[in-house]
Structure 1
Amino acid sequence: MPQDHHTHRRAVALLALSNVLGGIGVASGIAVGALLAEQLGGTAVAGLAQAAGVLGAAVAAVPLAALATRRGRRWSLTLGYTIALLGAGLVVTAAVVGSFLLLLLGLGTFGVAQAANLQSRYAAADGASAATRARSISVVMWATTIGSVAGPNLTAAGERVASGVGIPGLAGPYLFSALAFALAATVLGTFFRPADDGADGSVRQPVLVPGAASPPRTVGATGALRWAAGHSVARFAVGLIALAHAVMVMVMVMTPVHMRHSGMSLELVGIVISVHVLGMYALSPVFGWLVDRSGGVRVAVGGIAVLFTATVLGFVAAASGGRPVLTAAALTVLGLGWSASLIAASALLTEVAPDPVRVPLQGATDAVMSYAGAAAAALAGPVLAAGGFRAVNVAAALLVLPAALLAVGAARPAHVTTPADGR
């Protein structure tokens, strides 16, 4: 049910603020997570730091969505950041006592912030009208840009603070993460009152299932995904979110390794990753406006084309000896394709999913997205070792093809079926 204009603008502003804070917290920790893991466990296990965070986000996505269904977005998002706050504390404790296993537990718990950050885009869409739904999603996503840029720049300050309180330097940025998560939880828990939350706190959703004699039964993540599998547009949206994220992660995580193998400086690596992050978020409002104006399927298809173009550019960059300008262009285009795909597909999910499928499906989709990213990251290393950065881009291009096939089905009229009961 659309909120009045003032109420919805206030809700989006609060969600954007929480995303800035959450983005600062996540980026502050991610910037040093692998270094801390290497310090405690060795180089061979340094990559487990990112894997733990991604898995934490994936595991939390469905329970947070279930809580949103029962109690409302305010409760689920606030709890997500509160759990992440505890995770940051565990990371600091692990650094102090020198425990690698405790570090992994802390980083997994820390990753719940990313799940909350992602689900906030759906919270922005809950009370939006059909004409502004995608723009609401995109504004909240755009706010992440600020946190993603500011967070890593707090590393040096975090080390100084850590030195002042007598803890290991690499634990310092997690103190800033804890503060940012605490502020995000406070903002949402105190001020966020979405009109789409019913009197009992649960998310109020319109019944959109044609011909239903009684209100549909509540479904879990499995039932929601089963319903989506039988609906061409929902199937396309879920598949695109997962595949676009897998493509982006596969290329992104191997780019710094490829650049270092090509003899490029750490400064150049930082610049390329920075422009990639800008591509992911900076033009989000533009893509939101395009979705509201032209439709989600059209923009999603455009996102697929942009992702494929990015893999071609990445292949050319690798074939030409890893020129930094071409590599930066490929990573920028990759970020743009991810942004267009994610915004369009998220808007499509919100548009087509009926009560009571919508929120469970959103959570399940974010879980699938995170698992796809983790799998892509795990596969990217062996692919790079076997065939270089060109092979990584070829593999990523192959992941684009199923999304294109799903788009063909989404362009046809779909019959909306009653969601199956399941958990």
Structure 2
Amino acid sequence: MTNNQYKKTLIVVIFSQIFSGLGLSAGISVGAILAKQIIGNESLSGLPSMLFTLGSAFFAYLVGKISGNHGRRIGLSTGFFIGSLGSAGVIFAYKTNSIFLIMLSLFLYGAGAAANLLSRYAGTDLAPDNKKATSISVAMVFTTVGVLAGPFILNFISSNLLHIGIKEELSAFILASLGYFLSFLIIFIFMRPDPLMLSIKKNKESKLKVDEDVLKDNNAKRNILLSALVMIIVQVVMISIMTMTPIHMNGHHHSLNSINLVIGIHIASMFLPSLITGRIIDKFGTKIMIALSSLIFIISTIIAIVSPGSSFLMLLISLALLGLGWNIGFISGTTMLVKYTSGLNRAKIQGNIDIFIALAGALASGVSGYFVFMIGFYKFLGLFLVLSLVLLVLSFNKEKHNNTRS
């Protein structure tokens, strides 16, 4: 019965990821450009990304807390619904020329991103121990379907809405609102029985022992901290470079379609490799894969540094590798976190760690515009060569195993 529920949960998560993927890149590809138009100051172009990343941090905590108390179904559906409202709010605020409402809406838009990322855990609640990483991969990879379909749907939406005065950039938020709302419906209607509640019920008899194990086991705490550091670093490297690339391309007169395509391929590279990433991690472990993530980041950054801003192809390759490095590092860190938490405390710990991941990303995206303005795009990239080396050092920390149950 548990195996059937595990498979059913994965199917529900897959469909929710497809639709949430449609709008995942909206604020990334056009948010910075809108900010430049509204504020008129390029040094503040990272502000929208910072706002929806701060929103992602806040709602990671909220969704994690709700999930811990009431289950994944209520927690995730709440996040997707608020994300849908925030996306729609950006459109309304822009039409009414309300900067405050745009900023508030971008913050709420972050709830959709938080729910999208936290969905990766839902597939692991009932997964066998030797399929944790594979379950994470399956949950994440189908976001790619929505991401790849996004640009084509955006072209259709833009061509049909331009004549009524809706800006091309805003069509991305129309798509995001629709995608997040459909994800809300899928999770709310079909995620029954709740996988986290089933997992908790399964471990109910050992509740006190498992909680004490995680609280007192220094090895478990050490590995949880290590997993958090890995995910934070890969998020900072990825989101910093990704946030500034549209501005860099816009400054070199690339079209909005070209920018959307680069970001779309980048996000596809963040999720599509999950078809095999999870299986490889389950087979070879997280240590070697974290090292591989670091090396891919280094190669990606070097390509961007040596490439002229006018080279669409080189920027495309660099951003694709950036997404791949994030995929490997993020799934490795997530797998470690799942391994060293139990079903009884997993949602709370996962939500709390995702707060720090999102806050780190928010800080990185918020100050990235300032750094690029002060030192230039290419020196800015050099900072992340150093951070990628830190990730490489972390990969040499020996991962020890414990007996924490799922």
**TM-score scaled to structure 2, two decimals?**
0.86
Contact 1:229 1:235 in 2 (8 A): no
Contact 1:134 1:292 in 2 (8 A): yes
Partner of 1:371, secondary structure, is helix
What is the one-letter code of the residue matched to 2:267?
Answer: V
Partner of 1:340, secondary structure, is helix
Distance across 1 between alignment mates of 2:315 and 2:143: 23
Which moves more between the two structures, 15-24 or 154-163? Answer: 154-163
Equivalent position of 1:413 in the other structure: 400
The Cα shift of 1:363 comes to 1.0
Contact 2:6 2:127 in 1 (8 A): yes
Gaps of 5+ in 1: 418-423
The Cα shift of 1:88 comes to 2.7
**TM-score scaled to structure 1, two decimals?**
0.83
Match of 1:299 among 264, 277, 289: 289
Contact 1:36 1:95 in 2 (8 A): no
Distance across 2 between alignment mates of 1:101 and 1:49: 12
Contact 2:219 2:402 in 1 (8 A): no
The Cα shift of 1:178 comes to 2.7
Equivalent position of 2:386 in the other structure: 398
Equivalent position of 1:383 in the other structure: 371
Distance across 1 between alignment mates of 2:25 and 2:227: 27
Equivalent position of 2:346 in the other structure: 358
Distance across 1 between alignment mates of 2:193 and 2:356: 26
Distance across 1 between alignment mates of 2:33 and 2:223: 42
The Cα shift of 1:187 comes to 0.9
Q: After superposition, give the CA deviation of every residue in 1:352-400 in whole Å (9 maximum; x if it has no partner).
A: 1245442222112222111122222233334334443432232002112
| Alignment of 1:15 onto 2:13 | yes
Distance across 2 between alignment mates of 1:371 and 1:228: 26
The Cα shift of 1:175 comes to 3.6
Which moves more between the two structures, 367-376 or 39-48? Answer: 39-48
The Cα shift of 1:261 comes to 5.0
The Cα shift of 1:181 comes to 2.2
Q: After superposition, give the CA deviation of every residue in 1:10-63 in whole Å (9 maximum; x if it has no partner).
A: 211110110111111333455444455455544555542222211111111011
Q: Sequence identity of aligned pairs in percent?
A: 27
Distance 1:406 1:260, change over 3 A: same
Distance across 2 between alignment mates of 1:266 and 1:18: 27
Distance 1:207 1:349, change over 3 A: farther
Which moves more between the two structures, 43-52 or 237-246? Answer: 43-52
Equivalent position of 1:216 in the other structure: 211
Match of 2:334 among 346, 362, 365: 346
The Cα shift of 1:238 comes to 0.5
The Cα shift of 1:90 comes to 2.4
Distance across 1 between alignment mates of 2:354 and 2:186: 23
Distance 1:48 1:228, change over 3 A: farther
More helix by share: 2
Equivalent position of 2:122 in the other structure: 123
What is the one-letter code of the residue matched to 2:400?
Answer: P
Partner of 1:128, secondary structure, is coil
What is the one-letter code of the residue matched to 2:182?
Answer: L
Task: Map 1:2-401; keep pairs closer than 5 Å.
Answer: 4-28=2-26, 30-38=28-36, 40-44=38-42, 46-159=45-158, 162=161, 171-194=170-193, 196-198=195-197, 203-204=200-201, 206=203, 216=211, 231-261=221-251, 269-317=259-307, 323-354=311-342, 356-401=344-389
The Cα shift of 1:191 comes to 0.8
Distance across 2 between alignment mates of 1:51 and 1:8: 35
The Cα shift of 1:76 comes to 0.3
What is the one-letter code of the residue matched to 1:158?
Answer: I
Distance across 1 between alignment mates of 2:172 and 2:254: 27
The Cα shift of 1:324 comes to 4.4
Q: After superposition, give the CA deviation of every residue in 1:260-292 in whole Å (9 maximum; x if it has no partner).
A: 555666665455434322321221121111012
Contact 2:22 2:179 in 1 (8 A): yes
